[in-house]
Amino acid sequence: MSDRQDLLGRHVLLGLTGGVACYKAAELTRELTRAGATVQVVMTEAALQFITPVTMQALSGRPVFTSQWDARPANSMAHIELSREADAIVVAPASADFIAQLAQGRAGELLALACLARPAERVPLFVAPAMNREMWAHPATQRNVAQVAADGAVVLGPASGAQACGETGDGRMLEAVELRDALVAHFQPKVLAGRRVLITAGPTFEAIDPVRGITNHSSGKMGFAVARAAAEAGAEVTLVAGPVHLPTPLGVRRLDVCSAQQMHDAVLPLAPTHDVFVATAAVADWRPSQFNEQKIKKDGKKVAPSFELAENPDILAAVARLPAQARPWCVGFAAESHDLVRHAREKLERKGVPLIVGNLGPATFGRDDNTLLLVDAAGERELPHGDKLSLARDLVREIASRITRFPT
């Protein structure tokens, strides 16, 4: 999904302030241009100490601006021209000093001038802090960040982790792909604004003994794509994930579980507080009825061990059976190996839900693309083959159109 053109036609003014994280701004420039955006770089005097304008010009394909006295614009007002042509301004990295300037309305350099002069009603300002953990925690910085947010800027991060100074804690700038995804999300239609969406994703793992278990090939990619698409659409998203190794979509609350019972126990208390439940997880239907505390050994025996199976709880059916006032609008997934339409329709009727999304599991598990079939009481409709994020966005729009009759 790294070559998606989600920002095609967008023009981003990317501001760099002083900080080691300027190296991430180089990567961010590349990510934005790969996503289809044009990028105009503006650097403060301090940023010039960490990375050169030559590097940023090579990556953006445009001359870099560093001075408010730059005479290239016809009216010699670079701060006006640059801010008017932008679809968004992103300051990454944003130093503690620069955030203080924004909070106080000071404009002693071109970048601060452009932020102050931007038409706020149509040009959003994104600020990605990057600084030492003590600087970030200082009350003055926290006051300034709060003021910047109150004035309409979107503060992205910071993250926690190892810092250039050798310390560890809050203050790291978000990674380039996270900042790119935040910008992409901003431009997505907010069709689920005000809604709360609960999603399950991935496989479950049913332990046989401490080292073996029953699972399936689900990668979780479709469920994570739906979670991202729902968050992009303005929803408050909770993702209950089985054992997968995928990054959490920006802005999504994630709960990790392992077994079907754990997923059931996580979902049921949450369901009544959500407007929509999307069950994308490939939950194991069966589990060993008894867990072996120690690894089952071969010991030279030729006969394979046998064990009884017990049925796992049906999470989707349990949510669909909740009282009307506590029941979210339910969407089920049917990952089949054959006879997709018949099995999906049987699942629709058996679970008692308004929509089932069918796909051929063996053909899509682990892949980045898919084909989805929407099955409801009125019939079937296929969503054209595409990458999973595009399909997830189509599905989110479909869900939003179907629940408009329900109040938030």
Q: Are residues 277 and 351 in the same domain?
A: yes
User: Does residue 346 belong to any structural domain of this protein?
Assistant: yes
The residue out of 167, 186, 205 marking a domain boundary is 186
Cis peptide before 384 (omega within 30 of 0): no
Q: How many domains does the chain have?
A: 2
Q: Are residues 154 and 238 in the same domain?
A: no
Residue 298 among known ligand-binding residues: no
List the catalytic residue out of 22, 115, 165, 330: 165
d(CA 396, CA 400): 6
Closest-CA residue to 241 (of 249, 233, 231)? 249
Q: Are residues 126 and 224 in the same domain?
A: no
Residue 285 among known ligand-binding residues: yes
pTM of structure: 0.85
Residue 190 among known ligand-binding residues: no
H helix or E strand, kind and range, residue 84: helix 78-84
User: Does residue 3 belong to any structural domain of this protein?
Assistant: no
User: Does residue 169 belong to any structural domain of this protein?
Assistant: yes
Residue 42 sits in a domain of what CATH number?
Answer: 3.40.50.1950
Q: Are residues 90 and 150 in the same domain?
A: yes
184 class by beta-carbon count within 10 Å (0-12 exposed, 13-18 middle, 19+ buried): buried
Which residues make Cβ contacts (< 8 Å) with residue 88, sequence separation at least 6? 10, 12, 13, 123, 124, 125, 126, 183, 186
Which residues make Cβ contacts (< 8 Å) with residue 386, sequence separation at least 6? 369, 370, 371, 394
Q: Are residues 100 and 212 in the same domain?
A: no
Q: What is the pLDDT of residue 361?
A: 56
Q: What is the pLDDT of residue 362?
A: 54
Q: Are residues 283 and 314 in the same domain?
A: yes
Tens digit of pLDDT for each residue in 264-288?
A: 999 999 999 999 999 999 888 888 8
Give every residue of the chain whose pLDDT is below 50, as ranges: 1, 405-408
Q: What is the pLDDT of residue 216?
A: 80
Residue 315 among known ligand-binding residues: yes
The residue out of 138, 161, 186 marking a domain boundary is 186
Q: Are residues 180 and 308 in the same domain?
A: no
Q: Are residues 305 and 358 in the same domain?
A: yes
Residue 299 sits in a domain of what CATH number?
Answer: 3.40.50.10300
d(CA 160, CA 172): 6
The answer to whether 332 and 355 are in contact (CB under 8 A) is yes
Q: What is the pLDDT of residue 126?
A: 97
- Has 22 been annotated as catalytic? no
Q: Which domain holds residue 361?
A: 196-402
Q: Are residues 176 and 230 in the same domain?
A: no
Q: Are residues 137 and 279 in the same domain?
A: no
The residue out of 165, 186, 207 marking a domain boundary is 186
User: Does residue 1 belong to any structural domain of this protein?
Assistant: no
User: Does residue 191 belong to any structural domain of this protein?
Assistant: no
